[in-house]
Amino acid sequence: MTILRPVFTFFLYAILAVAAQNAIFSRALGVSRLVKMVEDGSVELFKFGLLLAIVQFFSSLLGYFVSHLLLQLDLSYKTAFLPLVLVLCSTVVFLLVLLAIALAGNRIAARDYLELLPMATFNCCIIGALLLTTTGGYTLLQTLGFALGSSVGYVLAVILVNEGQRKIQNRNLPAAFRGLPITLIYIGILALAIYGFTGHTPAI
Amino acid sequence: MRRNLSVYLSENMDRLMRRDRFFFNNPVFLQGLGLAPVVVAAYNLHNALVLSLAAAILLTPTRVVAALLARRCYPRFRGPLYALTASVLYIGAWFCCRAVFGVGIQTVGIYLPLLVVEPIIIKRYERTKLERVPTALRKGLLTTAGFLLALLLVAAVRELLGTGTLLGHPVLGGAPLPMAQLTCGGFFVVGLLAALWRGMRNLFKRIVSMEANTK
């Protein structure tokens, strides 16, 4: 039971972040990026998702320890410095992943990953999840589970909206609604479905 | 006189549609930037004012400072450069917001610190061409104006629909659509306003084109 309980906590928070607390449908974190990705269709989702998950997981790990150190300091206005601390954590992970890609070889694949890396790192989904876990007083396992779940939930949301595009972008739609407006309304319908499933939880 | 204006507008329509970040190419309703704070946190005018002040302090200075620093930076590191610049400037923005709104800044929760990675502020790093400082200043100011317009408009509509009030003062005597206060309601309101915005833009283009072609 002592082994199973942490595993259970990790997966519970991961599932929570994928479904009930989905980054897009419950908090609109990274929705600007999602809309662009869906419109362009040029971003390779698997590579983007992989980078997002790696950066989010390790940023959360680093962010957890650094934010605990910050809380122990006798600073009056810690919240003013929190984004800088979290962006620094993401930057450290960004540099490590950059180094790992550069050392991995296979230049063609590496170029794709290098182009996607800044997009996957300096993203509202990553910093938003970091802010939620640090200000929400999550434990280490809860933080890691939530971080991994957030990135998986984000990628699933992109797939869901991408699939919906085939139905919603047709000729019968009035010209003013094509593109961004109908995509937002479609995300709104999905968000309403998630809201109906989870009940009222404050997004802020 | 009016026809001359129509001819001028018709000839420069593409440039106008591309460059004007206030109405014709509004960053929120037409480019889909800055959606997270608009969709979730801007459910009343008070929250919109907090976010507006922070965005006004952050957006243009981040763009200008990052445009200056980017000249000495390796292209791969422009992403961290823009995000770190915004994070440093956020410290000043937080103190300004705190001085003006006091503990009221807590009502926007994570959406205030989240501005440091919001694409409307840092997206310029994705472009390979370096931005000149005067251009960064001009575009930054225009984008800020367009963002504030959208933010305040969405917040006013959502507050009116969701609670029937404006800045907490009763206006309608009831709440016609309480769902407008929720995240899903935010998506609907922003989607419908974006459609309305596009419709108005298309109508303007058609009228200008008709007037320019009238003999």
Q: What confidence score (pLDDT) does residue B111 get?
A: 95
Lowest mean pLDDT among A15-24, A55-64, B14-23: B14-23
Distance CA B151, CA B37 (A): 8
Is some CB atom of chain B closer than 8 A to the CB atom of A154? no
pLDDT in tens, B177-215: 999 999 999 999 999 999 999 999 999 988 988 888 875
Minimal CA separation from A44 to chain B, in Å: 16
Q: What confidence score (pLDDT) does residue B215 get?
A: 58
Mark which residues 114-143 of A lie under 8 Å from B by CB. 114, 117-119, 121-124, 126-128, 131-132, 135
pLDDT in tens, B83-120: 999 999 999 999 999 999 999 899 999 999 999 999 99
Average pLDDT over residues A183-198: 92
Is A198's pLDDT higher than 90? no
The band of B79, judged by pLDDT with boundaries at 50, 70 and 90, is very high
CA distances from B60 to B18, B49, B57 (A): 19, 17, 7
Q: Which residues contact A70 (CB under 8 A, 6 or more apart)?
A: A78, A81, A82, A85
Judged by CB atoms closer than 8 Å, whether chains meet at A27 and B79 is answered as no
Nearest to A32 among B32, B76, B90 (CB): B32
Q: What confidence score (pLDDT) does residue A127 get?
A: 94
Residue B7, phi then psi, degrees to nearest 5: -65, -45
**C-beta separation of A127 from B119 below 8 A:** no
pLDDT in tens, B47-77: 999 999 999 999 999 999 999 999 888 888 9
CA angle B130, A113, A154 (to 5 degrees): 100
Instruction: Break chain B into its structural domains and give their ranges.
Output: 2-213
Lowest mean pLDDT among A43-47, A70-74, B84-88: A70-74
Lowest mean pLDDT among A100-114, A123-137, A145-159: A100-114
Judged by CB atoms closer than 8 Å, whether chains meet at A188 and B125 is answered as no
Q: What confidence score (pLDDT) does residue A137 get?
A: 87
Is B12's pLDDT higher than 90? no
DSSP B40: I
Distance CA B82, CA B70 (A): 9
Q: Round the average pLDDT of chain A to a whole number and report it.
A: 90
Q: What confidence score (pLDDT) does residue A82 get?
A: 92
Q: Is the ipTM of this complex over 0.85?
A: yes
B15: its two tokens = 């440039």
Closest alpha carbon to B137 in B66, B49, B37: B66
Distance CA B124, CA B118 (A): 11
Is A57's pLDDT higher than 80? yes
Judged by CB atoms closer than 8 Å, whether chains meet at B117 and A27 is answered as no
The percent of residues above 90 in pLDDT, for chain A, comes to 61
Closest alpha carbon to A58 in A35, A91, A27, A80: A91
What three-state secondary structure class fits B165? Answer: strand
**C-beta separation of A31 from B35 below 8 A:** yes
Distance CA B37, CA B148 (A): 11
**C-beta separation of A30 from A24 below 8 A:** yes
Q: What confidence score (pLDDT) does residue A191 get?
A: 94
Q: Which residues contact A118 (CB under 8 A, 6 or more apart)?
A: A94, B76, B78, B79, B80, B125, B126
